[in-house]
Structure 1
Amino acid sequence: MKRKSSHTAPDKTIGRPVGSKREDTIARILDSALACFTSHGYASTKFKDIAVGANITSAAIYQYFDSKPALYIAVVDHIYQDIYPRFQQAIESSTRLKERIRNLVEAMVSLHEQSPLKSGFLSSIPLETQRHETLKEIFSHRENEMRALQARIFEDAIKNGEINPEWKVDNLVMMFFGSMSGMANYQLSVEGTSLRQAADIYLSMMELHLLR
């Protein structure tokens, strides 16, 4: 008489669903994490909330991301993979600051219209890194290609004599990208507002007072 095995069949609900690929599961986790981080903030986001949106268990997330900071950074990188080529194309399409700024604004507004969650998440990064030492430490040791790309347009403009050479590049980056992020956040929270129209007004003001 054969002895009955003491092992039980594995729970099929744990981990990725049957038939799905690893990449599909990671994509669902990242999409759910993006929604949770944007809606609830870094501190209030729990793996169990992300798991619900990704249709997996909380424990299964650890098969792909060993901590919440690692998952947060993965979301950042995932978004950058999408927007970096857009920004790069906007900058390389011209050598003049005026056209570059207009192209960048169009890229940022289009991103916001296509994916408000991504826009909202990106604008929250500076605040989250100041609130949480773990994130601040991680970002301080990362090479930031996006930041270098942002700085490049103003570095080139100063060399070409298009803007005041006494203005620091870091402050120019803060002025431009900080303003766009702030407007995007405001539009998300106030009904009836239009980021596209606000951006047009902003561009008109810049061309009057900033660009030579």
Structure 2
Amino acid sequence: MAQAARRGRPAGVDGEQTRRRIMAVAAEYVAEAGYASATMKSIAERVGLTGAAIYRYFPSKQELVSVLLAEMVDDILGRLDRATQVPGTLQERFVSLLEESLACVRDYPAVTRLTEAVHLESARIPEFRVIIDSQRRAEEKLYARLVDGAIHRGELPPDTEGQGIADMLTSLTWGLTHLGAVVSPARHAAAIRQAEGLLASGSLLPRRS
């Protein structure tokens, strides 16, 4: 009787594909269990690897989650930045950002819960804090650019307090992002549609006299 194949790197599967599979499984598992409770052994079992084999791809849980979060954040921020560069008004550009954020949640359904799990650990893991701070700075630049462009184009009064508007839009997006972690996708999408309606009505932004 042939000896059963040992679990390790799946036969015929490219190493990069296995690495991506590990990251996809880890995103869902860490988001569900929390960083402290998640183990490399459990991630390996969900992927179909031995406990030892997973370390060929990532030397530690911290490294795995750091790489995973950094790659997700970089991709999402890049997509949101491109979404705001469409022609149109501040309202139209921000709606484009909200729509792209919905698409990102569909592509990365665990990202919000994962980010919140990592936030809880960032006080004791400096590498996580670096990623989170980098994300925050990139978001601040994105929203500041949106508002500064609107003031420059004359869409907003020249005496508009740009930082306040940027912070308001940032807070709105963060609130919607958090909501997406705790309610159904349909409810999250409905909330985004309501925010888009307020933007379209001009209720959220100052108007020129």
Structure 1 window deviating more from structure 2 (67-76 vs 173-182): it is 173-182
Counterpart residue number, 1:35:
28
List per-residue Cα deviations over 1:105-138 (Å, max 9, x = no partner). Answer: 111122324442234334x267335454334444
The 8 Å contact of residues 12 and 18 in structure 1, kept in 2 or not, is answered as no
TM-score by length of 2: 0.76
TM-score by length of 1: 0.75
The percentage of counterpart residues that share the same residue type is 23
- The Cα shift of 1:183 comes to 2.0
Q: 2:205 aligns with which of 179, 198, 210?
A: 210
CA distance in 2 between partners of 1:25 and 1:176 (Å): 37
Please list every run of at least 4 consecutive aligned residues from structure 1 whose deviation after the TM superposition is greater than 4 angstroms: 140-146, 158-163
Q: What residue ranges of structure 1 are gaps of 5+ in the alignment?
A: 1-10
- The Cα shift of 1:166 comes to 5.2
Structure 1 window deviating more from structure 2 (170-179 vs 135-144): it is 135-144
- The Cα shift of 1:42 comes to 1.3
The 8 Å contact of residues 37 and 45 in structure 1, kept in 2 or not, is answered as yes
- The Cα shift of 1:46 comes to 0.8
Counterpart residue number, 1:194:
187
- The Cα shift of 1:142 comes to 5.2
- The Cα shift of 1:40 comes to 1.1
Counterpart residue number, 1:5:
none
Q: Which protein has the larger Cα radius of gyration, Structure 1 or Structure 2?
A: 1
Aligned length in residues: 198
Aligned pairs for 1:64-103 (under 5 A) are 64-94=57-87, 96-103=89-96
The 8 Å contact of residues 162 and 211 in structure 1, kept in 2 or not, is answered as no
The 8 Å contact of residues 128 and 135 in structure 1, kept in 2 or not, is answered as no
CA distance in 2 between partners of 1:49 and 1:126 (Å): 18
Change (3 A) 1:159 1:134: same
List per-residue Cα deviations over 1:86-119 (Å, max 9, x = no partner). Answer: 3133111125211111001111122324442234
Superposed CA RMSD in Å reads: 3.1
The 8 Å contact of residues 119 and 184 in structure 1, kept in 2 or not, is answered as yes
Structure 1 window deviating more from structure 2 (165-174 vs 59-68): it is 165-174
Structure 1 window deviating more from structure 2 (40-49 vs 149-158): it is 149-158
